Structures are given as C-alpha cells and as structure tokens.
C-alpha cells in the first residue's frame, strides 16, 4: 500500500490528530526532485515494515498554504510528529539518516 498523499491543510491536521501517540512522518516531496525519487520508495518500504508508524506525503507543487506554514525551502523535507507536536525536522535525501530517525523517534 502506498503512502497516503495529503492535499489540504485541514486534511493534514486531521491525519495528525488521528495518528495520536503514533509517530507520524510527513514527507514534503516533488516528482521532479532527484533525491525525492530515492527517499519516497524508502518511505514506502518503511510504511510496509512499520505499521505502527504513520507515513504521509505532500507534493510541494500542489499546496502553497502548507509550504508557507511549514516554511519549506527545499525538498525532500521531513517532519516528525507525535500527539500533533513537532518532534524533529530535517531536509535532504539521506535515507540512512531518515531510517535512523524514524527508528529513534518511533518508540520515544
């Protein structure tokens, strides 16, 4: 099952509320971004391996409001939430760091 694509601000807020105490990883990506083409399959694999973590993606070309709210200046960018609170964020295509951060925050 592929990661769910988020298109609207209220949809993202609802997803974060529904995730509750689970780790929610929100990936800001673009189809024409080279590093995004590496990190997105990595996230999709993790979403299958870790059903206790919620993975969502947002196409930066489709929602300026969300981009402004999260101050996205480059992609890929990753935001990690629990209980609707931002725990950590980073930008870049380092899949090893991404996997490590998901594992670290998954059980905190």
- The catalytic site residues sit at 33, 36
How far is the C-alpha of 53 from the C-alpha of 103, rounded, in Å? Answer: 10
Per-residue tokens: 95? 């899949």
Burial per residue of 28-64, b for 16 or more beta-carbon CB atoms within 10 angstroms, e otherwise? bbbeebebbeebbebbbebbeebeebbbbbbbbeebe
């Amino acid at each position: 099952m592929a990661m769910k694509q988020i298109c609207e601000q209220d949809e993202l807020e609802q997803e974060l509320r529904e995730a509750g105490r689970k780790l929610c990883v929100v990936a800001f990506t673009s189809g024409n971004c080279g590093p995004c083409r590496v990190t997105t399959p990595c996230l999709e694999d993790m979403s299958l391996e870790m059903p206790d973590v919620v993975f969502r993606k947002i196409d930066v070309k489709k929602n300026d409001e969300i981009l402004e709210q999260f101050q996205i200046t480059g992609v890929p960018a990753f935001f990690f939430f629990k209980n609707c609170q931002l725990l950590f964020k980073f930008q870049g295509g380092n899949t090893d760091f991404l996997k490590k951060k998901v594992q670290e925050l998954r059980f905190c």
